[in-house]
């Protein structure tokens, strides 16, 4: 498996693709991250066309096991961020 692209590499690739300097590309990426974070934190969802949908899902209270001791403990309800991958991206990876 290839190493994941770092934020610096992503900014450089974004700047090259957009034909702008790295500072502008970094600002665009930060703005996108802030928008996604704000929307998902508020309970909404964000669809990135061709990539997928990012959303927040609530998990109910449940019993979990401490792997060190084997003790059963009750974990309170919480929220988790999920992402559904777009069909177009899946097909491009598998072709």
pTM, rounded to two decimals: 0.79
pLDDT for 1 beyond 80: no
Predicted pLDDT at 4: 94
Average pLDDT of the chain is: 94
Among residues 7, 35, 36, the alpha carbon closest in space to that of 22 is found at 7
Query: Please, which pLDDT band fits residue 51 given cuts at 50, 70 and 90?
Result: very high
pLDDT for 8 beyond 80: yes
Predicted pLDDT at 19: 95
The DSSP element (H or E) to which 82 belongs, if any, is strand 78-85
Predicted pLDDT at 2: 84
- Delimit the domains of the chain by residue range: 1-42, 45-95
Architecture per CATH, 45-95: Irregular (4.10)
Contact 63, 73 (CB under 8 A): yes
């Amino acid at each position: 498996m290839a190493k994941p692209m770092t934020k610096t590499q992503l900014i450089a690739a974004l700047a090259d693709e957009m034909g702008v300097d790295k500072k502008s590309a970094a600002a665009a990426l930060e703005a996108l991250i802030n928008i996604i974070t704000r929307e998902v934190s508020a309970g909404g969802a964000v669809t990135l066309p061709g990539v997928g949908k990012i959303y927040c899902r609530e998990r109910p209270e449940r019993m979990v096991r401490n792997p060190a001791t084997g003790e059963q403990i009750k974990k309170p309800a919480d929220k988790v961020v999920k992402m559904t991958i777009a069909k177009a991206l899946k097909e491009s990876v598998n072709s």
